[in-house]
């Protein structure tokens, strides 16, 4: 396989300052004529060869300076032209078939409309072009098609002209004044309606904002539109970034590989991150829409105005933009809840990636297929790395750094190194060793111990960055830790301190502690590391009840639970909570902490709900070198049932109180719904009959999707008649609403019902199921792959199911197929019986005669 290396970067020999594209649109066939102005790059290597990338297209016409060219040749999928001089006009015609494009890259059809996805390398499926992010061009686009079929014609920038043609056809001209790389090109043609609002920017520019959807969906667009306006305003205030066109379009598409795409002035979105109304979308759906709309909008500066030099720099735009969307969401809602959720995502997705066969630095060194590197590491760890710089610099100085970055690199294709240097110059920080965070993969392990002498607390910290594929030896990295020491009698601390651990081992002294304090460390999750802190259970119970940093409270809760569950699986547990050695396994400490959370009247319900969520089996497995996911799942369920039974009255009271709160989108009402959901989970675990009764009543009374879904989630896991009744009702009620039917698949596939595997097999035969729609395929099979009960069933059937899906999906949509491989790739960290079965599935995939580059790379590395 061809491996692309970061170190091999070469500036392009030729640039394309201008491109004029002309499309004759058809769902079966679209004709594309492309006119490029190419100029020799003064910073290039002087080669006469112009490489125009292609992928499954062939040229109908090739002209150079107006004359048919004969001296072009193909090099695999690419078209090469030899040119002399400094400047030429190139003209190329191609024909593409949108309707057969099931990969959903390039130009494709979705529900009769035409749309594009070009990042990372989709533009080369439309026309021949130097399809790399460091070639920036000004785009003019002419599109022409049947007016009845494609009443709306959209592309990047502004519409400069439109008109009617013969035989029911019409056309539009679009011009984007901002030079951009080809991955930001977009086109949409179809029957769409818009919800429109106007925004005035800080310098007084009037911007028309549209959210385009299929007719019938317009009453589900207001939240997305509101989120867009809020994001535009926020970016002006928080980062000084103003929008730069008179028009901003968002289009919702139901067949989409990812969440959304930041094409200049024409964002294309998966419908799931646009459409919402209380009856069909949960609170979490609303939050996800706000964050993705914000994310794509923020790319206008972090990604579009300043883009990436090459795809190894992907985290330059993605890590930074994730941080920006996290800060935006925190400002729009609860900072504490947002931080807890973001850390949960990082630990649930990125930590396992970082400790497995696909581990890579946030700035990778090599790849075979770039689509495989749109990962939690590049996105979420990338955001954490930039967040650490912000923590060390402080908000104000950090802003100076980002201002300098945008000023220095506006209009350029930049590198991660450019970003770090701008932050250094703008903040005055020395980020010399900090750069290791860009080059080293693996989650650092930090062991912390504290001793008390006189009135001084002495903290010792040791760090180790584990070996990852291709990186055996690691160096210690600067790790900023926010620390507070609590006096256990007054339950207060005298101020937080930021310590930066930048050696393998270091000691920090805290004066003025008359008594041995309680240590609160990595507050707010100031560094993306795995901590091992020597601390008695009682200290964690104390922090869970008293820490003034809500994240630290959550963390103390999680640590107690993780500690207990790991003890329970490694030493067994009897009915009284003693392990086989007769030691109390920390179950009681968990109960005490839960009781405090339930009883704390000062606590916001939104945070209460978070504190009650048990860590996932995936995160628990991360704590062990080799995990038995079956045993972990059982121990987790047993703890849930025990807590449910022990604290039944409190959970009942919480469920009753929360159920009495009327629907609203405010924090209090949302918090009540979250507590309703969590208390129901524990009641059903502690007393399944009462759980079923309450869940069914909640289901029937629900006047919003959050309540309906949380009730159905609980019913799905129970073997009771109400289960079938509620599921049938849900399907009937929401028939025809694809996003809600996705939920119907996903809830069943994600449940811990004893016969969940049978359910999944039956659902795969359901008339509503299809593999060709990524949302639907993920709703069933990604839910299954993430469900420890289904995926890790000792029979190996879960593995076989996912293996089969990879094999069947690969010829249809390789990008989506490859996303299922990492689940199987975890085999080395799973107990031997299951590991063998997982490996066998990977081998069966690897044995297929034809495999996409996407799946091939992931499978080979996973077996490696």
Our CB check for ligand B3K shows the closer of 98 and 442 to be 98
- Partner interacting with residue 325 (select from ligand B3K, Zn ion, none; CB below 5-8 Å by kind): none
Distance CA 738, CA 755 (A): 25
- Of 98 and 774, nearer to Zn ion (C-beta) is 774
**Interatomic CA distance for residues 724 and 573, integer angstroms:** 35
Which distant-in-sequence residues (6+ apart) come within 8 Å of 540 by Cβ? 556, 557, 559, 560, 563, 589, 593
Nearer to Zn ion, 379 or 551 (CB): 379
Q: Please, are residues 456 and 511 in contact by the beta-carbon 8 Å criterion?
A: yes
Q: What is the 3-state secondary structure (H, E, C) of 280-303?
A: CCCHHHHHHHHHHHHHHHHCCCEC
- Choose the binding region for ligand B3K from 63-71, 89-97, 256-264, 682-690 (rule: CB under 6 A): 256-264
Closer residue to ligand B3K (CB): 212 or 297: 297
151 vs 259, beta carbon nearer ligand B3K: 259
- Of these, 374, 434, 744, 745, which contacts ligand B3K (CB under 6 A)? 374
Q: Which of 783, 864, 794 is nearest to 835 (CA)?
A: 794
Binding partner selected for residue 267 from ligand B3K, Zn ion, none, CB under the kind-specific 5 to 8 Å limit: none
- CB 262, min distance to ligand B3K, A: 5
Total residues at interface with ligand B3K (CB under 6 A)? 12
Q: Which stretch binds ligand B3K (CB under 6 A): 253-261, 461-469, 583-591, 760-768?
A: 253-261
What's the CA gap between 277 and 739, in Å, rounded?
A: 12
Distance CA 175, CA 156 (A): 7
Q: In whole angstroms, what is the distance from residue 43 CA to residue 65 CA?
A: 24
Which one of 50, 141, 258, 589 is in contact with ligand B3K (CB under 6 A)?
A: 258
3-state SS, one letter per residue, for 297-347: HHCCCECCCEEECCHHHHHHHHHHHHHHHHHHHHHHCCHHHHHHHHHHHHH
| DSSP structure class, residue 434 | G
Beta strands in 467-623, from DSSP E residues, in sequence order: 479-487, 492-493, 497-501, 505-510, 518-521, 530-533
Which among 461, 464, 474, 451 is positioned nearest to 505, based on CA atoms? 461
Closest approach of Cβ 353 to ligand B3K, in Å? 16
Residues between 109 and 128 that touch Zn ion (CB under 5 A): none
Nearer to Zn ion, 318 or 646 (CB): 318
Site residues (CB under 6 A) for ligand B3K, limited to 276-295: 295
Distances (CA, A) of 856 to 183, 368, 790: 24, 9, 25
- Candidate ranges 93-101, 255-263, 407-415, 670-678; the one touching ligand B3K (CB under 6 A): 255-263
Kindly report the length of the chain. Answer: 864
What is the nearest approach in angstroms of Zn ion to the Cβ of residue 259? 8
Binding mask 81-120 for ligand B3K (x = CB under 6 A): --------------------------------------xx
What residues from 292 to 321 belong to the interface with ligand B3K (CB under 6 A)? 295-296, 299, 318
CB of 298 to ligand B3K, least distance (A): 9
Our CB check for ligand B3K shows the closer of 442 and 814 to be: 814
Choosing among Zn ion, ligand B3K, none, which partner's interface includes residue 337 (Cβ < 5 to 8 Å by kind)? none
* Touching Zn ion, residues 315-344 (CB under 5 A): 318, 321
- Does position 213 bind ligand B3K by CB under 6 A? no
Beta strand spans in 14-86 (E): 14-24, 30-40, 49-52, 61-64, 67-68, 72-75, 78-82
Phi, psi of 76 (to 5 degrees): 60, -125
In the numeric block, which tokens belong to residue 632? 């972990």
Residue 472 burial (CB count, 10 A): 7
Q: Which residues are catalytic?
A: 296
Instruction: Answer yes or no whether residue 262 interacts with ligand B3K by CB under 6 A.
Output: yes
**Which one of Zn ion, ligand B3K, none interacts with residue 371, CB within 5 to 8 A by kind?**
ligand B3K
- Contact string (CB under 6 A) for ligand B3K, positions 644-663, x = contact: --------------------
Task: Give least dist CB 724 to ligand B3K, A.
Answer: 39
The rounded distance, in Å, linking the Cα atoms of 537 and 539 is 5
Alpha-carbon span 92 to 124, nearest angstrom: 12
- Binding segment for ligand B3K (CB under 6 A), chosen from 258-266, 351-359, 479-487, 777-785, is 258-266
Q: Pick from ligand B3K, Zn ion, none: which does 131 bind, CB < 5 to 8 A by kind?
A: none
Nearer to Zn ion by C-beta: 77 or 259? 259
For Zn ion, give the closer residue by CB, 299 or 564: 299
Unique residue bearing structure tokens 């996105």: 379
Is residue 228 at the binding interface for ligand B3K, with CB under 6 A as the rule? no
| Number of residues forming the site for Zn ion (CB under 5 A) | 2
Per-residue interface string for the shown chain with ligand B3K, residues 571-610, x marking contact by CB under 6 A: ----------------------------------------
Backbone angles phi, psi at 536, to 5 degrees: -70, 155
Residue 519 to residues 485, 544, 596: CA-CA distances in angstroms?
5, 12, 19
Closest to 697 (Cα-Cα) out of 737, 725, 672 = 725
Assigned token pair, 812 = 């249809």
**DSSP-based three-state secondary structure for 666:** coil
Instruction: Give the interface with Zn ion as residue ranges (CB under 5 A).
Output: 318, 321
Instruction: Give the interface with ligand B3K as residue ranges (CB under 6 A).
Output: 119-120, 258, 260-262, 295-296, 299, 318, 371, 374
């Amino acid at each position: 396989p061809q491996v692309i290396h970061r170190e091999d970067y070469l500036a392009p020999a030729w640039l394309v300052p201008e491109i004029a594209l002309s499309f004759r649109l058809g769902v079966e066939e679209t004709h594309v004529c492309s006119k490029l102005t190419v100029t020799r790059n003064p910073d290039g290597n002087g080669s006469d060869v112009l490489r125009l990338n292609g992928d499954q297209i062939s040229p109908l016409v090739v002209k150079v300076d107006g004359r048919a060219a004969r001296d072009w040749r193909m090099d695999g999928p690419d078209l090469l032209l030899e040119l002399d001089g400094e400047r030429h006009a190139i003209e190329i015609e191609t024909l593409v078939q949108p309707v057969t494009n099931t990969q959903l890259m390039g130009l494709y059809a979705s529900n009769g409309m035409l749309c594009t996805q070009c990042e990372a390398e989709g533009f080369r499926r439309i026309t021949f072009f130097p399809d790399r992010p460091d070639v920036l061009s000004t785009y003019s686009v002419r599109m022409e098609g049947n007016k009845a079929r494609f009443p709306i014609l959209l592309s990047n920038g502004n519409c400069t002209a439109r008109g009617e043609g013969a035989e029911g056809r019409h056309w539009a001209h679009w011009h984007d004044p901002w030079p951009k790389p080809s991955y930001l090109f977009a086109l949409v043609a179809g029957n769409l309606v818009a919800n429109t609002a106007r925004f005035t920017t800080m310098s007084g520019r009037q911007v028309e904002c549209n959210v385009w959807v299929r007719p019938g969906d317009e009453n589900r667009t207001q939240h997305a539109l509101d989120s867009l306006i809020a994001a535009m305003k926020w970016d002006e205030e928080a980062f000084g970034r103003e929008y730069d066109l008179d028009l901003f379009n968002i289009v919702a598409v139901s067949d989409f590989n990812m969440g959304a795409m930041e094409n200049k002035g024409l964002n294309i979105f998966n419908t799931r991150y646009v459409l919402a109304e209380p009856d069909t979308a949960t609170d979490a759906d609303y939050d996800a829409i706000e964050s993705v709309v914000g994310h794509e909008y923020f790319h206008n500066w972090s990604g579009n105005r300043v883009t990436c030099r090459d795809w190894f720099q992907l985290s330059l735009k993605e890590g930074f933009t994730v941080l920006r969307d996290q800060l935006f969401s925190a400002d729009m809602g609860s900072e504490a809840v947002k931080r807890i959720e973001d850390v949960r995502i990082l630990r649930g997705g990125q930590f396992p990636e970082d400790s497995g066969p696909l581990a890579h630095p946030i700035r990778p060194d090599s790849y075979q297929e770039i689509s495989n590197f749109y990962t939690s590491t590049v996105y979420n760890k990338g955001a954490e790395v930039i967040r650490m710089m912000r923590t060390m610099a402080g908000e104000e100085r950090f802003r100076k750094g980002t201002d300098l970055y945008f000023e220095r690199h506006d209009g350029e294709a930049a590198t991660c190194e450019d970003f770090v240097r701008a932050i250094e110059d703008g903040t005055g920080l020395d980020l010399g060793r900090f750069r290791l965070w860009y080059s080293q993969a693996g989650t650092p392990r930090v062991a912390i111990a504290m001793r008390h002498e006189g009135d001084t607390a002495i903290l010792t910290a040791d760090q180790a960055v584990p070996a990852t594929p291709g990186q055996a030896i690691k160096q210690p990295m600067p790790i900023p830790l926010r620390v507070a020491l609590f006096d256990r009698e007054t339950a207060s601390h005298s101020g937080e301190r930021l310590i930066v651990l930048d050696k393998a081992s270091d000691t920090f002294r805290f004066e003025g502690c008359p008594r041995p304090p309680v240590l609160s460390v990595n507050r707010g999750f100031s560094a993306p590391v795995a901590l091992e802190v020597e601390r008695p259970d009682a200290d964690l119970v104390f922090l869970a009840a008293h820490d003034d940093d809500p994240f630290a409270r959550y963390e103390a809760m999680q640590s107690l639970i993780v500690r207990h569950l790991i003890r329970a699986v490694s030493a067994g547990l009897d009915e009284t909570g003693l392990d086989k050695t007769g030691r109390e396994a920390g179950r009681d400490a968990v109960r005490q902490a839960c009781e405090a959370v339930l009883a704390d009247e000062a606590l916001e319900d939104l945070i209460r709900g978070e504190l009650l969520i048990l860590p996932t089996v995936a995160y628990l497995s991360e704590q062990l070198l080799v995990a038995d996911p079956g045993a972990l799942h059982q121990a987790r369920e047993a703890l849930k049932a025990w807590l449910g039974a022990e604290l039944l009255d409190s959970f009942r009271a919480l469920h009753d109180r929360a159920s009495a709160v009327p629907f609203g989108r405010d924090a209090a009402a949302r918090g009540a719904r979250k507590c309703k959901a969590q208390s129901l989970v524990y009641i059903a675990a502690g007393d399944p009959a009462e759980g079923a009764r309450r869940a069914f009543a909640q289901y029937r009374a629900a006047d919003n999707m959050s309540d309906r879904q949380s009730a159905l989630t609980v019913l799905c896991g129970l073997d009771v008649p109400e289960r079938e009744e509620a599921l049938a009702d849900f399907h009937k009620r929401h028939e025809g609403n694809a996003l809600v039917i996705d939920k119907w698949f996903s809830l069943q596939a994600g449940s811990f019902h004893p016969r969940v595997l049978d359910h999944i097999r039956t659902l795969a035969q359901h008339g509503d199921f299809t593999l060709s729609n990524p949302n639907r395929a993920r709703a069933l099979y990604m839910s299954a792959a993430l469900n420890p009960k289904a995926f890790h069933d000792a029979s190996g059937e879960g593995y076989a199911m996912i293996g089969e899906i990879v094999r069947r999906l690969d010829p249809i949509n390789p990008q989506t197929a490859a996303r299922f491989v990492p689940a199987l790739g975890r085999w080395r960290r799973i107990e031997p019986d299951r590991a063998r079965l997982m490996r066998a599935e990977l081998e069966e995939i690897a044995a297929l005669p034809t495999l996409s580059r996407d799946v091939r790379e992931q499978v080979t590395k996973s077996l490696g």
